[in-house]
Amino acid sequence: MRRLLILSSSAVLIETLFFAALAPLLPGFADELSLSKWESGLLVAAYALGGAVAAVPAGVVATRTNVRRVTIWGLLIVAGTSAAFGIVDTYWLLVLARFAQGAGGSFVWTGALAWLITATPRERRGEMIGIAMAAAIGGALLGPVLGGAAEELSRAGAFVTVAGACVVLAAWALRMPSPGRGESQPLVLLFKAARSRRVLAGMWLLALPALLFGTLGVLGPLQLDRLGWGVVGVAGTFLVSAAIEATMNPLIGRWSDRRSRLTPIRFGLAVAVATSLAIPFVGDRWLLSVVIVLAGIGYGALWTPATAMLSDGWEASGVEHGLGFALMNLAWAPGHVFGSAAGGAVADVGGDLAAYGLAAGLCALTLAGIQSRNLRAAVLARASGTG
């Protein structure tokens, strides 16, 4: 179990590392390629868009082969496409490379987390998901470092070198005992599960932090750059934010196991509303870095309990974890696409306040909605009953 936890955590860490490496590179790309906020948002969103497109295929392959094979394929795809991202230098090739990275990332998450959750007792699921999420956030922590090294030294050298680590992980996964062939399940079962109120609630609560981080990932680096932070300052801000998130996620996972999935979600939503509304008004670079870190804490508090809630829901609907993780990818990926691309587009038209105000409004509505008796009953019935 320990080896599997280390392997799964390492796989999502390195996938998220490439995902997060763009933040300190984005201002440079925007200047060199004369990108609008919408074009910058599309470059950020391309990764998540690839993840959304590959979500269902990854789940189908997981149930028809096995989760180890899906993990290996995903790691190799991420390795190849990340090396390509380090080499190409035109806008649309960069977008295409990010899209393909995201598709590979969808396979990594489906394989690695389904493999881990299948081997984990239900009563420890939140804790194990929290550890894996902490590793993923560790990747988000190291991503800006990779991006900063690529900007200051060599983009090709940095990305190609780290892509080699994906190949090493794939080789390690190949040496792990096979978990066995999954049970082939029809896609109609997935769509049936998606009609469950519990599953729908979990998917929305995963889409929301993806939307929030997508908006912050586009507008945050650009605002920090305008206020005078260079690559190191931008990378340092997101580094500190990710370090705190990584530390708190296993604790949030245990909190959600012992209390309620909704308790940490309420906390995260309240912090998200306050910080999202504050960011556009900050005019000092140091204070902005502090507020972005606090926003990351609020946004990040949603990941683990929402993932655990969603896995409870699809399991109650009879969906295997390999196929069920298609629902996770179909939740976070469109959320990130909307947050990145639409957030950038809204900011182009109405300014950053409009984009952050929209994000805060969605958080406020969600916080109000989880107080309703019907939704609360749906998401708290995590151990028994139907959706």
Domain membership of residue 361 (yes or no) is yes
The three-state (H, E, C) secondary structure of 103-157, written as one string: HHHHHHHHHHHHHHHHCCCHHHHHHHHHHHHHHHHHHHHHHHHHHHHHHHCCHHH
- pLDDT single digits (tens) 24-73: 788 888 888 888 878 887 888 888 889 889 988 888 888 888 888 899 99
Domain membership of residue 385 (yes or no) is no
Q: Find where tokens 């300014």 sit.
A: 351
Pair 248, 297: CB distance under 8 Å? yes
Domain membership of residue 387 (yes or no) is no
Number of H helices, E strands in the chain: 17, 0
Domain membership of residue 36 (yes or no) is yes
Give the number of other Cβ atoms within 10 Å of residue 338's Cβ: 20
- pLDDT single digits (tens) 148-176: 788 777 888 888 888 898 999 999 988 88
Q: How far apart are CA 146 and CA 148, in angstroms?
A: 5
Count of structural domains, the chain: 1
Residue ranges making up the domain that contains 125: 2-380
* pLDDT for 153: 77
* pLDDT for 385: 43
Domain membership of residue 7 (yes or no) is yes
CA distances from 37 to 49, 79, 96, 146 (A): 17, 28, 18, 23
Domain membership of residue 386 (yes or no) is no
Domain membership of residue 155 (yes or no) is yes
Q: What is the CATH number of the domain that holds 32?
A: 1.20.1250.20
Q: How far apart are CA 275 and CA 296, in angstroms?
A: 9
Question: CA nearest 249: which of 257, 88, 274, 312?
Answer: 257
Low-confidence ranges of the chain (pLDDT < 50): 374, 382-387
Pair 47, 102: CB distance under 8 Å? yes
Going 349 to 350 to 353 to 354, the CA torsion angle's sign is negative
* pLDDT for 285: 93
* pLDDT for 386: 41
Give the number of other Cβ atoms within 10 Å of residue 188's Cβ: 8
Q: Which helix (H) or strand (E) holds 232?
A: helix 231-258
Contacts of 295 (CB under 8 A, 6+ apart): 212, 216, 241, 271, 272, 275, 276, 279
Q: How far apart are CA 71 and CA 110, in angstroms?
A: 7
Tokens representing residue 17 in the block: 């590392």
Domain membership of residue 301 (yes or no) is yes
* pLDDT for 319: 83
Question: CA nearest 239: which of 305, 141, 340?
Answer: 141
